[in-house]
Structure 1
Amino acid sequence: MGLCVAMFTLGAENIRKVLADPPLILKVIARHDPDAYEAARGAKVGFFARLFGRKIEARAPVDFELGSDEVRETDMDKAWHGIHYLLTGTADGGDEPLNFILAGGTEVNHSRVGYDGARVFTPEQVGAIDAALRSVDDAVLRSRFNPAEMTALDIYPSVIWNRDPNEDDALGYCLEYFQSTKAFIAAAVEQRAGLVVCLT
C-alpha cells in the first residue's frame, strides 16, 4: 500500500453541484459505497448517536446523477510525485497548469476524502492542462530526471530514484504513468469533461 493519485472525469454541472454540497464528492470517489454520502451529510446516525438520542435531520434529496461519460477513472500509482517533479522541477509547487497533480483547481471542502482532500478542475482548466501536456514528451521528461535531487527533495517514494535502472527503472515507471495520464486528460477534453484529482 502507499500514496496514489486518482483522477475521475466529471461534467461541469456536477462539478458545480459538488462545490455547492461537498459531501457529493463521495458519490464520485466512493460511488460503490452508497451509504458514504448519506453518512457524510449526517443523514444517517451511527450506533452511539442513536443510543444517546441524536435525531436525524431531514434534508431534501439532492439531484445528482452521473452521466454515462462521467466518472471514468485512472490512477498514477506511486509515480504521481515523480511525474509532478518532472513536470515542474519542484516537490510541491510549480507553475499552472503543469502543477495540476498537487495544486490548482478548486478544493472540495470535505475532509473525509483521500489523504489530502479532493480538487476539481473545470472543463476549461482541463483543456489548459491538456494543451500544456501536449508540449511535453518523454525526451523532455528524461532530460529533467535527476535522481540525486529527487531523493534530496524527498520525492515520493524517495527510496526508488537512485536504484540501478537495469534492476528497477524508476524513470520508465514515471514515463509509463505520464503517458497514460496524458491520454486520460486528452480523452476528458474530447468529452468536454472536468476532472477530480485526489491523493489516496
Structure 2
Amino acid sequence: MSINLTLKRASSTDIARLHETPAAIHAFLEKGRPARSAEYLAKQASIARQLDLPPEPPRVEIPFDVYPFDDEFKAFKLWHGLHFMLSGDPDGGDLPAASLLGDEPIGEEDVGYGPANALSVSQTADFTRFLDALDRAAFLERLIPAKMRENDIYPDIWDEDLDDLKAEFGDVFDSLRAYCRKCTDHGLGMICAMT
C-alpha cells in the first residue's frame, strides 16, 4: 500500500456543495474517470468481506459543474517530498507553500487517508503565483537527501541516485505548476485528496 496525492479542479460552487454534502466527495473525485465495472465492485466487496472491513458507503450523487478539462494532477508517492521541498515543513506549513495539503477539510469523509481538503479559487491563484516565482533549478536545490531522511519524508527513496531523483522531482514540479496554472487560468480552486 502506498499513500498518493491527487489534486482535482473545482469551482467555488462545487467546493461549497462538497462542504454541504461531504459524502459526495467520492463521486466528485471519480468524475471524469472510467466507470468501475460491476466485476470490479464485486471483487472489492469480496476483499472487504474477507478482511472484515466495513462496506463502502453508498455513493451520494449531487450535480456538479461542467468543466473545460477533466484531468487531475497526481504526485503519486512523491507528494511528501514535493510538499517538504515547497514548504520546508514535513507536517504542515503556511500557505501558499503548503498548499499541496489543502486548507479546508471536506467534512470528515475518509477518501483513503483522511478527508479531502479544498483550496479556494484565490488560494489556488496564490499557490500558482508561488510556484511561478520558483524555477525548476531553484526548486531542485531543495532536494537534499540527508535532510529528507532526517525529517522522515515519505517514501524512503533518498539513497537512490541523486540525478534520477532530480529528474523525477523536476518533472513532477513542472506538471504541478502547469496544472495549477490551468486551474487559475479557468478561475478554479482545487480539491486535494490522499488516497
Q: TM-score, normalised by structure 1?
A: 0.79
Against the structure 1 CA distance between its residues 119 and 71, is the aligned structure 2 distance closer, same or farther, given a 3 Å change threshold?
farther
Q: In structure 1, how many angstroms separate the alpha carbons of the residues matched to 2:6 and 2:23? A: 18
Q: 2:22–2:109: 8 Å Cα contact kept in structure 1? A: no
> What does residue 169 of structure 2 align with?
174
More displaced stretch, 127-136 vs 104-113: 104-113
Q: 1:115–1:199: 8 Å Cα contact kept in structure 2? A: yes
Q: In structure 1, how many angstroms separate the alpha carbons of the residues matched to 2:162 and 2:127? A: 30
- Greater C-alpha Rg: 1
> What does residue 198 of structure 1 align with?
193
Structure 2 SS opposite 1:69? coil
Q: In structure 2, how many angstroms separate the alpha carbons of the residues matched to 1:111 and 1:186? A: 28
Match of 1:165 among 162, 166, 173: 162
Superposed counterparts of 1:19-168, under 5 Å: 19-31=19-31, 32=35, 39=58, 64-69=63-68, 71-102=70-101, 104-158=102-156, 160-165=157-162
C-alpha deviation, 1:105, in angstroms: 2.0
C-alpha deviation, 1:28, in angstroms: 1.0
More displaced stretch, 177-186 vs 29-38: 29-38
Find runs of 4+ consecutive structure 1 residues off by over 6 angstroms: 34-38
C-alpha deviation, 1:98, in angstroms: 1.1
Letter in 1 for 2:23: P
> What does residue 56 of structure 1 align with?
none
What RMSD in Å do the two structures reach over aligned CA positions?
Answer: 2.4
Q: 1:7–1:195: 8 Å Cα contact kept in structure 2? A: yes
> What does residue 52 of structure 2 align with?
none
Q: 1:10–1:195: 8 Å Cα contact kept in structure 2? A: yes
Q: In structure 2, how many angstroms separate the alpha carbons of the residues matched to 1:179 and 1:39? A: 37
Letter in 1 for 2:72: E
Against the structure 1 CA distance between its residues 71 and 96, is the aligned structure 2 distance closer, same or farther, given a 3 Å change threshold?
same
Structure 1 SS opposite 2:109? coil
- For structure 2, which runs of at least 5 residues remain unmatched after alignment? 42-54
Q: TM-score, normalised by structure 2?
A: 0.81
Q: 1:123–1:189: 8 Å Cα contact kept in structure 2? A: yes
Q: In structure 1, how many angstroms separate the alpha carbons of the residues matched to 2:27 and 2:193? A: 14
**Cα displacement string for residues 34-92 of structure 1 (whole angstroms, at most 9, x for unaligned residues):** 99997155xxxxxxxxxxxxxxxxxxxx7513303264312012111111111111211
Q: 1:8–1:196: 8 Å Cα contact kept in structure 2? A: yes
Counting matched residue pairs gives 176
Q: In structure 2, how many angstroms separate the alpha carbons of the residues matched to 1:178 and 1:138? A: 7
Q: In structure 1, how many angstroms separate the alpha carbons of the residues matched to 2:27 and 2:62? A: 12
Structure 2 SS opposite 1:109? strand
Q: 1:130–1:182: 8 Å Cα contact kept in structure 2? A: yes
- Percent identity over paired residues: 25
1:186 equivalent in alignment to 2:184: no
Q: In structure 2, how many angstroms separate the alpha carbons of the residues matched to 1:105 and 1:93? A: 10
**Cα displacement string for residues 99-147 of structure 1 (whole angstroms, at most 9, x for unaligned residues):** 0112x42101133312122001111111111111111111212222211
